[in-house]
Amino acid sequence: MFTLEQIRTAHAKVRSGADFPAYIRELKELGITHYEFYVTDGHTDYRGNNDFKLVSPAKYSVLIISDNINAEQFKKDLLHHQQGGSDYLRFCQQCAGNGIEMWAVSLQAMTCTYYDKTGAEVLVENILQ
């Protein structure tokens, strides 16, 4: 089973969205099968085999998620972040402002799916390996 300390060590190597694929590979090596990240406070539910679940604590003060989805601006902000143009907290603030409530990463399908407050998919991305 994986621990929060192992996850923190892997996450500490991430400086921008450009580091995301390497981070995902490392999580997969730890035995994480998927996780859900909640923009509201930055906590994450990590899941592994045999229904193993580990929940991280909140990472920052509560952000209010907009009721209005701005998918086009979100896509621009995401691309900017992936190119190293914003830090993690700034990206989370942008997600909240654009109506993104959470994202789910499947390390089996190698996808990252972004959702709004109603649970509707806003964007599904393939994770490059």
Judge if pTM exceeds 0.95. no
What are the chain's domains?
Answer: 4-126 (3.30.1810.10)
- Digit-coded pLDDT (tens) for 57-96: 999 999 999 999 999 999 999 999 888 888 889 999 999 9
Sheet holding 44-48, edge to edge: 53-55, 44-48, 32-38, 102-106, 111-115, 121-126
Q: How far apart are CA 62 and CA 50, in angstroms?
A: 32
**Cα 87 to chain center, whole Å?**
13
